[in-house]
Structure 1
């Protein structure tokens, strides 16, 4: 009787220990990624920092790094995946009712600015890797931005905006919008003055650029080859 009563307890204890190990492993992985982001936020670049620096910042020994990533590039690719999740979260936050284009752009840009400043290190990583990362990292960032543009085009198709534009041209317009915003992100991260007036000035400048893109899209007549 006692043996039967003790067996489930022993089994449960083993499960608990397994869960604890898994949780610890996930926490170490998260700590390594956050350590890399912290170093990037302090002005380092992913191509210049070493795994030893990352491990030291995370508070683990270097051998622990290899239990999660084969090298810094693999860590960077995982950061790119995490950035993609943030971009999809941003897309959900920026979705608005069927507003006039300029008002929609103004609200979306304001949401974007707040989002970038809340996740500064992730977007610093994005800006660095767009031009200075390894080929694999540059390609990963391009894929995330391409997917972001695809999602934007999908949202626009469900509205009354740009009703006469072809699907192919809408994809091009959305890619141009995403590229413009990505370029503006560099300027946003470099702003030393975060006062409301400066942020509003920056927001209006971005909205003006997007309005010109939208104006051109409205006037565009697709000519097939």
Structure 2
């Protein structure tokens, strides 16, 4: 029993240290961008010596990829909340708009990281963000396929609809990130604008026919 009792705290401490490194990197990127953050800075802010960094990550690129994975985990949680058994399109739109704004506010630093790094910075991180966004589009397309009208569409058209929704989600997240926390009025405007954009897309579903 003593051996097991010792293993659990060590494993727990290792997980805490790893998370501390991720949190430190996330905070530092807010001011410097990921490319401007050094391993020594991350280790110092996490409260560990630089050599301890390598017990958790092979390199700074590896840490950056872990941040992308962690961020998209929260994004998938958001999507699951928005897809919780909606009865119709209006339910999907209303729930999605509300969940996006609420979730991004709760995970502002994660979504700010994606917004900053997806067009610049470290190539490996940028490529992973783009790959994760493509995967997210594909996952959403599977859900859209079950909805009225869309069930009969060609796969490429379903993917197109999913990309439109994801583009709105990304745009909404970036607006929320840039809005001061105390401005609930502006956040309400963003949420309503998101609903309007989604409704505009949905209006075209019944009339969509692929060009021949």
Normalising by structure 2, report the TM-score: 0.90
Question: In the alignment, which residue of structure 2 is the partner of 1:64?
Answer: 52
Question: In the alignment, which residue of structure 1 is the partner of 2:2?
Answer: 13
Question: Which structure would you say has the larger Rg?
Answer: 1
Alignment of 1:28-67 (within 5 A): 28-41=17-30, 43-67=31-55
Structure 2: distance between partners of 1:218 and 1:83: 34
2:166 equivalent to 1:178 = yes
CA displacement, residues 97-151 of structure 1 (integer Å, 9 cap, x when unaligned) = 3444244212211111100110111101111111123222112111222222222
Aligned residues: 212
Question: In the alignment, which residue of structure 1 is the partner of 2:104?
Answer: 116
Structure 2: distance between partners of 1:91 and 1:70: 31
Alignment of 1:65-84 (within 5 A): 65-84=53-72
Correspondence for 2:85 among 93, 97, 101 = 97
> Contact between 1:51 and 1:62, CA under 8 Å: does it hold in 2?
yes
> Contact between 1:40 and 1:46, CA under 8 Å: does it hold in 2?
yes
CA displacement, residues 133-180 of structure 1 (integer Å, 9 cap, x when unaligned) = 322211211122222222222222223353442222011110121023
> Contact between 1:102 and 1:207, CA under 8 Å: does it hold in 2?
no
Per-residue deviation, 1:37:
1.5
- The alpha-carbon distance between structure 1 residues 96 and 21, as it changes in their structure 2 partners (threshold 3 A), is closer
- The alpha-carbon distance between structure 1 residues 119 and 98, as it changes in their structure 2 partners (threshold 3 A), is closer
Structure 1: distance between partners of 2:185 and 2:72: 30
Per-residue deviation, 1:93:
0.9
Alignment of 1:132-143 (within 5 A): 132-143=120-131
Q: Report the RMSD for the aligned CA atoms in angstroms.
A: 2.0
Structure 2, unmatched stretches of 5+, are none
CA displacement, residues 188-209 of structure 1 (integer Å, 9 cap, x when unaligned) = 1011264332211111222222
2:122 equivalent to 1:160 = no
- The alpha-carbon distance between structure 1 residues 217 and 44, as it changes in their structure 2 partners (threshold 3 A), is farther
